Amino acid sequence: GAGVSQSPSNKVTEKGKDVELRCDPISGHTALYWYRQSLGQGLEFLIYFQGNSAPDKSGLPSDRFSAERTGGSVSTLTIQRTQQEDSAVYLCASSAIPGQGDNYEQYFGPGTRLTVT
């Protein structure tokens, strides 16, 4: 079946502009995660959704970052007033309902490469 998709694949924006990044999780996956990966770095957790609610948004670096999820499916990560330090690859992942068989796996999308000039 279809995997996790993200759009756009690349985004170049000017400093100070707002950007929206989209994630389409695997159908039926209730958990959705956003991560940030800076060049040559590891995965930095941003926010976790279970259904439409976000019980853990502890990784959002500032109030310029927000995310929402609607219909228990698509999620949008919004960065307002972008800064050059926001340049990174933003990865989305989804997983099925925890506790049911081998469904702890997180399946990642290809990421959105954001460049702030």
- The answer to whether the peptide bond before residue 8 is cis (omega within 30 degrees of 0) is yes
Using CB under 8 A, which of 43, 64, 74, 87 touches other proteins?
43
Using CB under 8 A, which of 33, 77, 86, 116 touches other proteins?
33
**How many helices and strands (H and E) does the chain possess?**
0, 11
Q: Are 50 and 31 in contact (CB under 8 A)?
A: yes
Q: Give the H/E segment covering residue 20.
A: strand 19-24
Stretch that binds other proteins, among 14-22, 69-77, 79-87, 91-99 (CB under 8 A): 91-99
Please return the burial class of 82, using the count of CB atoms within 10 Å of its CB with bins 0-12, 13-18 and 19+. buried
* Residue 31 lies near other proteins (rule: CB under 8 A): yes
Using CB under 8 A, which of 48, 65, 67, 69 touches other proteins?
48
Q: Are 33 and 47 in contact (CB under 8 A)?
A: yes
Using CB under 8 A, which of 12, 15, 18, 41 touches other proteins?
41
Stretch that binds other proteins, among 13-21, 71-79, 80-88, 101-109 (CB under 8 A): 101-109
Summarize as ranges the residues that interact with other proteins (CB under 8 A).
4, 31, 33, 35, 40-43, 45, 48, 50, 55-56, 91, 93, 95, 98, 104-111
